[in-house]
Structure 1
Amino acid sequence: MADRRRSKAVVFTEFGSPDVLRYVDVEEPHPGPGEVRIGVRAAGVNPLDVKVRRGVMEAMFPTALPHVLGMELAGVVDEIGEGVDDWKVGDEVVAWPKNGSYREFAIADSLIRKPAKVPWEVAGAIGIAAETAARALDLLAVAPGGTLLVHAAAGGVGSVAAQIAKTRAINVIGTAGVANHDYLRALGVTPVTYGVGLAERVRSVAPDGVDWAFDCAGRDALPASIELTGSPERVLTIGDRSAPEYGVSFSLMPANPRRDVVVDALAMVLEGTLQLNIERAYPLSEAAAAHGHSETGHLRGKIVLIP
């Protein structure tokens, strides 16, 4: 049981390796007007968290130190701020925290209701993946009957994008390591191995090329994607900062993610038309190990932290 004056959080005071993440006592937060406090049950670990910790995203996401990472969570409302009428203590929610999610108690004013039958780990890790995937498909203007190439298709964003695309009657080809090919096939995705010779391998399963490419990997996939689609305008990346050199759009996380998209994703989870694999759940105290795992790449789904 957390002390009511102090609670635990993962904090870093300098940029660097996973070892800069410290599991420490912090002052227990309380909600202001229009806010609620949430006892965190699960917090998603995202590639952007890793990049922010390294300090490589300062131009796009300036970070004041000390800092608590984490953009998404699922938990239970346990304190209500002034003027909040829509929520009550005990409500189970999915939220986008204002003070980071790598902590026992988070503050939020942007939240949705968590369906009771969705596991905590999935609810806490699906928000960013679903919002990013849906945004990418909309920006690419994908349409039924077309073919989409997804790079890093076994990862959190990639796997969700592939599954949403399948529900829109789109053929999906996904790049992944061989160990994840059966997983992609189970999702209805045609797998190909990434790396040298990618374009030829894609053409072997899609002789007419592909209509769009969504790069979730950020690892030199843009030239082949342009070659296969025929235009940089049909390619979108969320991970390759060299995109402007190729005339490819780089999509950033918006300040206010669309809650309706995540509501829809959670409904799809309940219906069985969308699954989010949890690669591993780590205790909050092992956030450094979770980041080390994330940096190895080749994830199948998402990593989560459990306070």
Structure 2
Amino acid sequence: MGTGTMRAVRLHAFGGPEELVYEETARPEPGSGEVLVRVHAAGVNPPDRYARCGFKNFPAELRPNWTPPLILGSDISGAVTALGPGVTEWQPGDEVFGLVNFPGRGSGYAEYVVAPAAHLAAKPAVLSHTEAAAVPMAGLTAYQYVFTHLRGRTGTTVLVNGAAGGVGHFTVQLVRVAGAKEVIAVASGRHEEFLLGLGVDRFVDYTRTPAGEVVRDVDLLIDTVGGPDAHRLLPTVRRGGRIAPVFLGDYQRERAAELGIVFNETMWQVRSSGADLAELSALIDAGHVRVAIDSVFPLRDAAGAHTRADRGHLQGKIVLNVESRGA
């Protein structure tokens, strides 16, 4: 650690949002292959909340062995301020964004963060830092899912369940880039105008009518919700069609097999990649992908941001703005 200090949000004990404490702590220094980034904004993601609670929603054998105090957060947007040994691709002053050290500890809820140079990409020119911080985890999850996990094989008709959330709203746009001719979005009714504005062809309000009753013959279902009721979506998929679950769900696999439905593997995890993020950034700058912000909180009110996240039903992403007090 360096001799300087910074302000950060630290978790001293696992629990609710009230455990997130805004305080002074040591400023990190970059090591070999790393850069120090002055953070302007940080994204809030589900894994941050899982970590805050001690990963209690994970099976015991899969829980990371993290011990407080911790700085949460992996999505950042900011400017490079110092280079570690061996870094040649970035210079001080470069505006960058990235998914830092994921899966793992990113420490983004802070004024400064150390990041591997390879985890960063140049910030999209058309986005503010607040908007850019909303992209990395959700955007890369959708991008890597569509172009790596599915290898761009979307078919003609794609249904996206949970389409208004962080991953969902990127997915409805990226499947179109990948070649889908018809995109069907499933979300609650209050998100209809938002999703139609993103270019979806058809909207289904699941609070009024279950998608399984009104949608048929889709080539691909990308389900960003999962859960115990996931099997209700089986009737939407044609025989020979495919289900790509982003999260685990009960799809009644034997019944699905009888219906001739194919599954992509569920054990898949988004990973930090500056190269993939640069490709996504180019799509954003070209106007093919838009970024939605649900709400913005100051870094000092990370607890408020987590309280909002815990309520769910987001339209886009939650972002923390990091106040500057000078270099």
Do they fold alike, i.e. is TM over 0.5?
A: yes
Would you say the 8 A contact 2:228–2:249 is kept in 1?
no
Would you say the 8 A contact 1:93–1:114 is kept in 2?
yes
State which of 151, 154, 157 in structure 1 corresponds to 2:161: 151
Quote the Cα distance in structure 2 between the aligned partners of 1:96 and 1:143. Answer: 25
What are structure 1's unaligned runs of at least 5 residues? none
Q: Which residue matches 2:87?
A: 84
Post-superposition offset of 1:235: 1.8
State which of 219, 233, 246 in structure 2 corresponds to 1:238: 246
What are structure 2's unaligned runs of at least 5 residues? 257-262, 323-327
Would you say the 8 A contact 1:225–1:235 is kept in 2?
no
Post-superposition offset of 1:290: 0.5
Question: How high is the TM-score relative to the length of structure 1?
Answer: 0.87
Would you say the 8 A contact 2:146–2:178 is kept in 1?
no
Change (3 A) 1:271 1:142: closer
Change (3 A) 1:260 1:233: farther
- The one-letter amino acid paired with 1:224 is R
Would you say the 8 A contact 1:211–1:229 is kept in 2?
yes
Q: Deviations over 1:72-94 (max 9, x none)?
A: 21111111112222222111111
Map of 1:1-307 to 2, 5 A cutoff?
5-54=4-53, 55=55, 56-57=57-58, 59-60=61-62, 62-66=64-68, 67-98=70-101, 99-109=106-116, 110-138=119-147, 139-140=149-150, 143=153, 146-170=156-180, 171-189=182-200, 190-194=202-206, 198-203=210-215, 208-229=216-237, 234-240=242-248, 242=250, 249-254=265-270, 256-307=271-322
Change (3 A) 1:242 1:100: farther
Change (3 A) 1:239 1:200: closer
- The one-letter amino acid paired with 2:206 is Y
Answer with 256-265 or 208-217: which moved more: 256-265
Answer with 239-248 or 214-223: which moved more: 239-248
SS class of match (2:134): helix
Post-superposition offset of 1:283: 0.5
SS class of match (2:289): coil
Q: CA RMSD in A?
A: 2.6
Answer with 287-296 or 165-174: which moved more: 165-174
Post-superposition offset of 1:140: 3.8
Q: Deviations over 1:18-43 (max 9, x none)?
A: 11211122111111122111000111
Q: Deviations over 1:99-126 (max 9, x none)?
A: 4211110001121222333211221121
Answer with 265-274 or 278-287: which moved more: 265-274
Quote the Cα distance in structure 1 between the aligned partners of 2:290 and 2:158. Answer: 19
Post-superposition offset of 1:244: 9.1
Change (3 A) 1:116 1:143: closer
Change (3 A) 1:241 1:222: closer
- The one-letter amino acid paired with 2:187 is A
Aligned length: 300
SS class of match (2:218): coil
Would you say the 8 A contact 1:123–1:266 is kept in 2?
no
- The one-letter amino acid paired with 1:292 is T
Higher strand share: 2
Quote the Cα distance in structure 2 between the aligned partners of 1:86 and 1:234. Answer: 40
- The one-letter amino acid paired with 2:113 is A
- The one-letter amino acid paired with 1:13 is H
Q: Percent identity?
A: 31
- The one-letter amino acid paired with 2:276 is V
Would you say the 8 A contact 2:38–2:81 is kept in 1?
yes
Quote the Cα distance in structure 2 between the aligned partners of 1:182 and 1:157. Answer: 18
- The one-letter amino acid paired with 1:76 is A
Quote the Cα distance in structure 1 between the aligned partners of 2:140 and 2:278. Answer: 10
